[in-house]
């Protein structure tokens, strides 16, 4: 938490206490301590990543070879992605994603188990044997855990279910390790910080890692704990879903039924290739008691659990608040909601930033020209000639941090309480700023020219659809490469020309049709290479600077009206755009609503989590099947 936000939080608590005419209560003191502890944990991690990113920026500056520069940039972007994977809470602090939320996210893993991993599991000889499994005791009758709800009702989870979840967790970890290991050397990824430094060729009980509570545990214990937490989370929401449906199990969607059957069909095919009957295949891969009926049952439970969670999230995401509540939040979280309009560019070095600012005219009219001059790649040199690329309206603190702007970096020294400070951001969002001001810190690479000083952004959010066509569109189904994995900025002129031609063809097909949002959505499903194609290419409640510059500028053009279509070029390719509507809520209020709704949703999840307890069965645990060929 920056010093201004932290002081604001403390002031709020103190004002509340003064109103009550009492001393600091244990509850308030505990809250402050908790906020500071969370922040310190996040700050330490962000510091570590920021140091690595800064070093890479320096390496990029000193690297004369353009190809080598590009490799370093990709490495930098990987680290930036890690740093951006920090959860931002309602109070504006950045804290690591909680164990609770991680479990909620991971519960869906049970739905997407990959069949090919099971085949590998068998072929490599990593068949699973529990400590007492040779006795032949039926794992589908022994209890692994007893989960108790808030009403005192007990639910027994069988050993066979544990074996299934263990296989899911184990295979998922192996797959993640395999995937990230391919890039760790090339991009300098720290596998230990990603909880992926396990060696599957060694005994899991002889290797250690740090769990979410900061304790050192063996990898065997870590995986076991993850399995237990995953089961508890999934089943807790499942039981809540049943309770909310008058005690009857809710149905899963037709798409989920189809996906479930397709998964079983894949297992069947893989089993035949491995010379197994389906149930024998699943038993060999996942442990005794696991057969097609259990897999179908556990996948169904996971679907129902996930549907209920998503329903809660959606319910709170649309929750409305009174004007009094919004105004109170606005006052208490001013620093989080304020925005500035700026021209912004990140130079390769502090020296370049000094030269840039020295050459910048007082009215900022040559900003784009200078941005092009000091760009490091041919793509950026051309793109930045357009002022749209370096002009940002309604820029918040969090957006600048998301862009990894040097001006948004923490100061080298912390305050007396050990908290990070952000003097450059404090300068930028100060009420003393005026149009035409330029950041004066000579030690950072950011150049910021103020168009409009700090204000509450009143631009309304918008709903849009788009169809992405990359320069590698014709290669998207090729065996050797996927268009989504290629850098469009490195495409040839002919490839860009072909992409534009394809975008024009799609637009013409739309114009010959019904010309509705629904018809555009069908074309998005058919043609778009963006990951939201299956949703009809829709983005709802888009806020300023959420998208790349030219895309963003099109969305928030003041002349934009419902039904507008156009082709827009970005560094990702050509976008066939469709404007659905401008929403009624201004950006500052939408951000406040989402923050409060997120906090309310988390409180609801915490309430569910606290209602359920899980206890390991002292006898059943001896029948858990672990990978004894690896961890004997």
User: Distance between CA atoms of 629 and 126, rounded to whole angstroms?
Assistant: 6
Average pLDDT over residues 16-28: 45
Same-domain status, 378 and 448: yes
Domain residues for the domain of 187 are: 101-317
Tell which residue, 351, 383, 350, 343, has the closest CA to residue 367.
343
User: Distance between CA atoms of 512 and 598, rounded to whole angstroms?
Assistant: 42
Per-residue pLDDT tens digits for 503-552 = 999 999 999 999 999 999 999 999 999 989 999 999 999 999 999 999 99
User: Does residue 326 lie within any of the structural domains?
Assistant: no
Per-residue pLDDT tens digits for 124-182 = 444 444 444 444 456 778 899 999 998 899 999 999 999 999 988 888 888 888 877 87
- The predicted pLDDT at position 433 comes to 97
Q: Two tokens at 148?
A: 């108790």
User: Does residue 246 lie within any of the structural domains?
Assistant: yes
Domain edge (last residue) among 410, 434, 455: 455
Same-domain status, 468 and 364: no
User: Distance between CA atoms of 567 and 559, rounded to whole angstroms?
Assistant: 16
Average pLDDT over residues 391-416: 90
- The predicted pLDDT at position 66 comes to 57
User: Does residue 602 lie within any of the structural domains?
Assistant: no
pLDDT band for 404, please (50, 70, 90 cuts).
confident
- The predicted pLDDT at position 473 comes to 65
Which element (helix H / strand E) includes 379?
A: helix 378-383
pLDDT band for 110, please (50, 70, 90 cuts).
very low
Same-domain status, 20 and 53: yes
Which residue would you say has higher pLDDT here, 599 or 5?
599
Same-domain status, 135 and 280: yes
Same-domain status, 62 and 111: no
Q: How many CB atoms lie within 10 A of CB 237?
A: 27
What DSSP character marks residue 98? P
Residues 6+ apart with CB under 8 A from 222: 209, 211
Same-domain status, 230 and 108: yes
> In a 3-state reduction of DSSP, which class is residue 93?
coil
User: Distance between CA atoms of 463 and 547, rounded to whole angstroms?
Assistant: 12
Same-domain status, 155 and 259: yes
pLDDT band for 402, please (50, 70, 90 cuts).
confident
User: Does residue 508 lie within any of the structural domains?
Assistant: yes
Per-residue pLDDT tens digits for 408-462 = 998 888 888 888 899 999 999 999 999 999 999 989 999 999 999 999 999 999 9
- The predicted pLDDT at position 6 comes to 39
Which residue would you say has higher pLDDT here, 485 or 155?
155
Number of folded domains that form the chain: 3
- The predicted pLDDT at position 60 comes to 65
Q: How far is CA 603 from the centre of its chain?
A: 20
User: Does residue 559 lie within any of the structural domains?
Assistant: yes
User: Distance between CA atoms of 527 and 377, rounded to whole angstroms?
Assistant: 30
List strand residue ranges (DSSP E) for 436-537, in order.
Answer: 446-455, 460-469
User: Tokens 């508890």, residue?
Assistant: 232
User: Does residue 610 lie within any of the structural domains?
Assistant: no
- The predicted pLDDT at position 70 comes to 59
User: Distance between CA atoms of 498 and 492, rounded to whole angstroms?
Assistant: 10
User: Does residue 628 lie within any of the structural domains?
Assistant: no
Angle at 452 between CA 446 and CA 454, to 5 degrees: 85
- The predicted pLDDT at position 624 comes to 83
| Average pLDDT of the chain to the nearest whole number | 82
pLDDT greater than 70 at residue 559 = yes
Same-domain status, 444 and 564: no
User: Does residue 629 lie within any of the structural domains?
Assistant: no
- Lowest mean pLDDT, pick from 45-49, 208-212, 275-279, 362-366: 45-49
Per-residue pLDDT tens digits for 325-343 = 999 999 999 999 999 999 9
- The predicted pLDDT at position 181 comes to 80
- The predicted pLDDT at position 418 comes to 85
pLDDT band for 71, please (50, 70, 90 cuts).
low
Question: For residue 581, what is the domain's CATH number?
Answer: 3.10.50.40
Same-domain status, 471 and 532: yes
Identify whether the C-beta of residue 395 lies closer than 8 Å to the C-beta of residue 339. yes
Same-domain status, 120 and 269: yes
pLDDT band for 249, please (50, 70, 90 cuts).
very high
Task: Report if pTM > 0.75.
Answer: no
Residues 6+ apart with CB under 8 A from 178: none
Per-residue pLDDT tens digits for 301-327 = 999 999 999 999 888 888 999 999 999
Domain edge (last residue) among 455, 479, 503: 455
pLDDT greater than 70 at residue 118 = no
Per-residue pLDDT tens digits for 368-385 = 999 999 999 999 999 999
Same-domain status, 211 and 285: yes
Domain edge (last residue) among 254, 288, 317: 317
Same-domain status, 210 and 257: yes
């Amino acid at each position: 938490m920056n010093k201004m936000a932290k002081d604001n939080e403390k002031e709020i608590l103190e004002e509340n206490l003064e109103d009550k005419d009492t001393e600091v209560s244990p509850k308030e003191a505990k809250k402050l301590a908790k906020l500071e502890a969370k922040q310190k944990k996040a700050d330490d991690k962000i510091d570590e990543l920021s140091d690595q990113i800064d070093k890479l920026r320096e390496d990029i500056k000193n690297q004369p070879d353009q190809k080598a520069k590009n490799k370093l940039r990709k490495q930098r972007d990987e680290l930036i992605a890690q740093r951006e994977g920090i959860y931002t809470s309602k109070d504006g602090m950045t804290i690591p994603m909680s164990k609770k939320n991680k479990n909620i996210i991971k519960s869906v893993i049970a739905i997407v188990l990959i069949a090919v991993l099971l085949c590998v599991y068998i072929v490599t000889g990593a068949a699973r044997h529990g400590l007492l499994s040779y006795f032949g005791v039926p794992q589908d009758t022994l209890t692994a855990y007893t989960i108790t709800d808030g009403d005192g009702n007990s639910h027994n989870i069988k050993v066979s279910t544990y074996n299934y979840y263990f296989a899911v967790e184990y295979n998922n970890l192996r797959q993640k390790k395999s995937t990230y290991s391919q890039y760790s050397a090339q991009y300098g990824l720290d596998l230990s910080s990603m909880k992926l430094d396990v060696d599957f060729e060694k005994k899991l009980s002889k290797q250690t890692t740090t769990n979410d509570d900061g304790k050192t545990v063996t990898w065997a214990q870590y995986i076991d704990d993850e399995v237990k937490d995953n089961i508890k989370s999934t089943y807790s929401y499942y039981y809540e879903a049943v309770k909310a449906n008058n005690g009857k199990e809710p149905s899963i969607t037709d798409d989920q039924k189809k996906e479930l059957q397709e998964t079983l069909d894949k297992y069947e095919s893989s089993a035949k290739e491995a010379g197994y009957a389906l149930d024998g295949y699943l038993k060999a891969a996942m442990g005794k008691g696991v057969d097609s009926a259990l897999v179908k049952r556990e996948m169904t439970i996971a679907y129902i659990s996930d549907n209920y969670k998503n329903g809660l999230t959606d319910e709170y995401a649309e929750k409305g608040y009174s004007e009094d509540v919004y105004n109170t939040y606005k006052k208490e979280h001013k620093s989080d909601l304020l925005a500035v309009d700026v021209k912004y560019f990140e130079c390769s070095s502090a020296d370049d930033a000094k030269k840039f600012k020295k050459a910048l005219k007082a009215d900022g009219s040559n900003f784009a020209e200078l941005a092009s001059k000091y760009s490091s790649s041919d793509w950026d040199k051309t793109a930045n000639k357009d002022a749209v690329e370096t002009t940002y309206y309604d820029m918040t603190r969090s957006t600048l941090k998301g862009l990894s702007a040097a001006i948004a970096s923490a100061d080298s020294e912390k305050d007396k309480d050990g908290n990070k400070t952000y003097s450059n951001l404090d300068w930028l969002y100060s009420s003393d700023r005026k149009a035409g001001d330029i950041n004066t810190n000579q030690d950072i690479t950011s150049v910021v020219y103020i168009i409009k000083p700090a204000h509450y952004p009143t631009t309304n959010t918008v709903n849009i659809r788009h169809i992405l066509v990359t320069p590698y569109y014709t290669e998207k189904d090729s065996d050797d490469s996927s268009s989504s994995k290629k850098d469009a900025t490195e495409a040839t002129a002919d490839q860009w020309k072909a992409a534009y031609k394809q975008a024009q063809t799609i637009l013409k097909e739309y114009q010959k049709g019904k010309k509705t949002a629904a018809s555009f959505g069908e074309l998005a499903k058919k043609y778009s290479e963006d990951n939201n194609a299956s949703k009809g290419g829709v983005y709802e409640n888009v806020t300023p600077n959420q998208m790349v510059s030219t895309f963003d500028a099109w969305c928030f053009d003041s002349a934009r009206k419902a039904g507008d279509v156009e082709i827009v070029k970005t560094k990702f390719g050509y976008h066939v755009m469709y404007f659905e509507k401008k929403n009624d809520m201004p950006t500052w209020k939408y951000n406040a609503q989402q923050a409060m709704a997120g906090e309310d949703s988390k409180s609801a999840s915490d309430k569910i989590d606290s209602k359920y307890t899980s206890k390991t069965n002292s006898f059943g645990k001896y029948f858990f099947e672990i990978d004894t060929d690896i961890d004997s």
